[in-house]
Amino acid sequence: MRFEVEIGGRRLVLKRGDITAEEVDAVVNSANPELTPGGGVSGAIHRRGGPAVTEEAARIRRERGRLKTGEAVITTGGNLPAKWVIHTVGPVWHGGKKGEPELLAKAYRSCLELAKSRSIKTIAFPSISTGVYGYPIDQAAGVALRTVREFLEADPGPVEEVHFVLFSEKDFEAYRAAWERIAG
C-alpha cells in the first residue's frame, strides 16, 4: 500500500511497512524521554540499529538529561539502512486538553528542522504518539500531515522526500483519509 503526493516540488509518501527497513537518510524514533529502548517503534529501531544507536542515545541522555516532549536529537543509524535516527518524544494523550496537538506538531517540526540542519534529504516518520501514548490515530494523522505539509510549502531547504511508514493497514487508511480531508 502506497500513496504519494507532490508538495512544493517535494514528495510526501504514505506507505504501509517496517520503518526499520526504510532506505532513507534518516528514520524517526517515537522515543521515550529517557531515550531507552522501549516497545513498538522504539524497540524495533534499537534492536535493528544495534548497540551503536542505544549507546549514543545513552550518551546524549547523560549529557543533557531527559528529552522534553516535542524536542528531537539525532544519533547514528547503526545497523539500519538509514544513516541517522532522529529521536523525538510525542505527547501522551490526555483527551486533547493539555496542548497535545501543539506538542505533537512541535515533535514533527523539531525532527524536520534537525533534518534540515544536517542536510538530510529523505526522512521517514512513524505515527508518533499513537501507540502506548494513546493519541487517537485519526487526530494524530491530521496534525502530522498538516505540520509536514506546512513545512514543505514554507521551507526551500534540503528535505526532498518525507515518508510516513505505517505499521498496519488501519493506520495507513487513517493517514490517507486525513490527507483527503486536509487536501480537500
Q: Is the pLDDT of residue 155 over 90?
A: no
Give CA–CA dist 171/145, Å, rounded.
Answer: 13
**Phi then psi for 122, rounded to 5 degrees?**
-130, 135
What's residue 44's pLDDT?
97
Q: Is the pLDDT of residue 156 over 90?
A: no
CATH of the domain at 108: 3.40.220.10
Digit-coded pLDDT (tens) for 3-35: 999 998 999 999 999 999 999 999 999 999 999
Q: Smallest Cα–Cα separation from 171: which of 2, 16, 11, 39?
A: 16
Q: How far is CA 122 from CA 3, 55, 66, in A?
A: 16, 24, 27
Check if the beta carbon of residue 163 is closer than 8 Å to that of residue 15: yes
Q: Is the pLDDT of residue 39 over 90?
A: no
Q: Is the pLDDT of residue 128 over 80?
A: yes
| Domain hosting residue 170, numbered range | 2-183
Number of domains in the chain: 1
